[in-house]
């Protein structure tokens, strides 16, 4: 159903570039508005599965005028129900690898962030929207349903009620509205998304690896657990992270006044 060799130069619709501890993975199919074909999904998965050891965080963005127009509608036009189910599974597996991979992901969104494009963005750990970005779920209009995990992930971000309303009515959220409802963590001027994303990713890459691991892998599970289980899991994870030599060294650095304080200016340089 999807094929891609292990050769990095086999990329057709995704480009990958390395900048020290930050790797940029860019949807690069602008003539189709970065619509997500199975080839694109396979290439994304390949890129995230083959991050170099020195990569500590990833920026995911899109080339051209739009982040992503969602599912490649030409692919599902003739599929059977069984093929449709398998199609979703291919997306689910690739998105799992991104969300629960080794490195936190900062998604930079501009222009259209539609359907499967929003499902992909919701896989990331941090989302930056440029002014002019807009979010839509036209599934009702297209006669289909979410199929890339959006019912779960986008609902967790903004609530199932808003997801339903977007799909039923075609309601589109602007970047600023996306910030308010929880689709974006940061809004920046048009054209500034990549810079902001790189700065955030570079900062993330300086965190203790075990902290980033706990944030990516333990926090989502803890948030789903009943209170008593969640507190137990949190306590165990806290004990493991704080026992690590890296944590000890960082705490000592603060106590000896060698580490930065947390101030209202903490966002400077990442605004
Ligand atoms: C596409 C797609 C696509 C563009 N699949 N080919 N997604 C949608 O319902 C969004 C559909 N797309 C649009 O609304 C618009 O294309 C955009 C607002 C994103 C951009 O508009 P514009 O004027 O810049 O571009 P365009 O002229 O509409 O499109 C340029 C080309 O991209 C054109 O192909 P061409 O061969 O005629 O040049 C389009 O057909 C093609 N194109 N979007 C295939 N999505 C896992 S379930 C997820 C469910 C969903 O994602 S539902 C939402 C689907």
- What is the model's pLDDT at position 79? 84
Residue 55 CA to ligand 1 center (angstroms) comes to 32
Query: What pTM, to 2 d.p., does this model score?
Result: 0.95
- The best mutation among 69, 91, 170 to test binding of ligand 1, ranked by most ligand atoms within 8 Å of the C-beta, falls on 69
Q: Which atom of ligand 1 is nearest to the CA of 88?
A: 46
- What is the model's pLDDT at position 3? 47
Tell me whether strands 186-188 and 134-136 are parallel, antiparallel or unpaired.
Answer: unpaired
Residues paired with 116 in a beta bridge: none
- What is the model's pLDDT at position 266? 76
CATH topology of domain 207-256: Lyase 2-enoyl-coa Hydratase; Chain  A, domain 2 (1.10.12)
* pLDDT, tens digit, 9 for 90 and up, residues 70-126: 999 999 878 888 988 999 999 999 999 999 999 999 999 999 999 999 999 999 999
Residue 86 CA to ligand 1 center (angstroms) comes to 22
* pLDDT at 151 exceeding the cut of 80: yes
Residue 115 CA to ligand 1 center (angstroms) comes to 10
Distances 64 to 24, 28, 55, 155, 267 between C-alpha atoms, Å: 15, 8, 25, 28, 28
* pLDDT, tens digit, 9 for 90 and up, residues 204-236: 999 999 999 999 999 999 999 999 999 999 999
Provide the 3-class DSSP secondary structure of residue 33: coil
Token look-up 């990833």 returns 58
Residue of minimum CA distance from atom 14 in ligand 1: 69
- What is the model's pLDDT at position 30? 98
- What is the model's pLDDT at position 271? 41
Q: Is 91 in the pocket of ligand 1 (CB under 6 A)?
A: yes
pLDDT band at 199 (very low <50, low <70, confident <90, very high): very high
pLDDT band at 265 (very low <50, low <70, confident <90, very high): confident
Residue 3 CA to ligand 1 center (angstroms) comes to 23
Q: Is 71 in the pocket of ligand 1 (CB under 6 A)?
A: yes
Q: What is the C-alpha separation between 53 and 56, in angstroms, rounded?
A: 8
* pLDDT, tens digit, 9 for 90 and up, residues 5-59: 445 457 999 999 999 999 999 999 999 999 999 999 999 999 999 999 999 999 9
Domains of the chain, residue spans? 14-205, 207-256
Q: Which atom of ligand 1 is nearest to the CA of 74?
A: 44
- What is the model's pLDDT at position 37? 97
CATH of region 14-205: 3.90.226.10
Residue of minimum CA distance from atom 25 in ligand 1: 33
- What is the model's pLDDT at position 26? 98
- What is the model's pLDDT at position 5? 45
Mean confidence (pLDDT) of the chain: 94
Q: Which atom of ligand 1 is nearest to the CA of 115?
A: 51
Specify the DSSP class assigned to residue 13: S
Residues in the chain: 271
Contacts 24+ apart (CB under 8 A), 89-94: 90/1, 90/2, 90/38, 90/41, 90/42, 91/36, 91/41, 91/116, 91/119, 91/147, 91/148, 91/149, 92/148, 92/149, 93/45, 94/41, 94/42, 94/44, 94/45, 94/48
* pLDDT, tens digit, 9 for 90 and up, residues 254-264: 999 999 999 98
């Amino acid at each position: 159903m999807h094929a891609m060799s292990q050769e990095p130069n086999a990329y057709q619709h995704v480009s990958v570039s390395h900048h020290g501890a930050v790797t940029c993975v860019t949807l690069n199919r602008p003539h189709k508005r970065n619509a997500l074909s199975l080839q694109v999904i396979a290439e994304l998965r390949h890129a995230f599965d083959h991050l170099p050891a020195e990569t500590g965080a990833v920026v995911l963005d899109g080339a051209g005028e739009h982040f992503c127009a969602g599912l490649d509608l030409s692919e599902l036009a003739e599929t059977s129900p069984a093929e449709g189910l398998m199609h979703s599974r291919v997306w689910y597996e690739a998105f799992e690898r991104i969300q629960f991979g080794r490195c936190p992901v900062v998604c930079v969104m501009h222009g259209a962030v539609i359907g499967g494009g929003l499902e992909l963005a919701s896989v990331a750990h941090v989302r930056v929207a440029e002014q002019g970005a807009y979010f839509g779920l036209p599934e009702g209009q297209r006669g289909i349903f979410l199929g890339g995990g959006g019912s779960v992930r986008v609902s967790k971000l903004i609530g199932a009620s808003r997801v339903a309303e977007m799909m039923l009515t075609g309601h589109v959220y602007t970047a600023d509205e996306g910030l308010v409802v929880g689709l974006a963590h940061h809004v920046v001027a048009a054209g500034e998304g990549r810079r902001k994303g790189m700065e955030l990713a570079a900062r993330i890459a300086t965190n203790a690896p075990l902290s980033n691991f706990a944030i990516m892998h333990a926090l989502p599970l803890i948030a789903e657990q009943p209170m008593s289980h969640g507190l137990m899991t949190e306590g165990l994870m806290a004990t493991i992270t704080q026992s690590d030599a890296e944590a000890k060294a960082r705490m000592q650095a603060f106590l000896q006044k060698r580490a930065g304080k947390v101030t209202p200016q903490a966002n400077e340089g990442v605004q």
